[in-house]
Structure 1
Amino acid sequence: MDEALLPEQQLLIKESRSQLWEQVYCLTTDQAKLLSLKYQRGLKTREIAAILGKSVNSIKVSHYRALKQLQRRLAFRRQQYGMET
């Protein structure tokens, strides 16, 4: 985390990340696993495909769909809690 940020800002970022991953783990197991491999472990698409035993194209499509689903979940959450986008 950026040390130039105030402690309050660092806490908000940490909480936001936590809430984001909370929503990721509400996706299907495959979608959550894919996003975790991509963004937490920093793996490339071909590496993820090898781990999950799928084609690169299948991973690309699944990644797109997972991000769209996550986007919908986050938008719903913001709307539910009256938060602005």
Structure 2
Amino acid sequence: MMQTLGALYFAFGMLNWMTKSGLIGGIYNRPIAVANFTHFTVVAIAILKALIAHSAISISIWIIGALYLVFALAFTLILLRHPLKENSFV
């Protein structure tokens, strides 16, 4: 089970790595943005649920949960906003 989960994370990481130079946001690379948004949001909710049920969980889980929440919020912004053009400030 853990090898399957590791393969899933590796494949997801490779997908993100291969699209790193592409424009993301709005309609551009929308499936990548939706996949990342869904992943980080679901895991953040699951960790939050575990922390509410068991408040004595170690500080490392709190930190991981906070990081997942930050990434979930970041991908929410990426998903809902149009990307800036590279020369928009020049």
With normalisation by structure 2, the TM-score equals 0.36
With normalisation by structure 1, the TM-score equals 0.38
More contact order relative to length (CA 8 Å, sep ≥ 6): 2
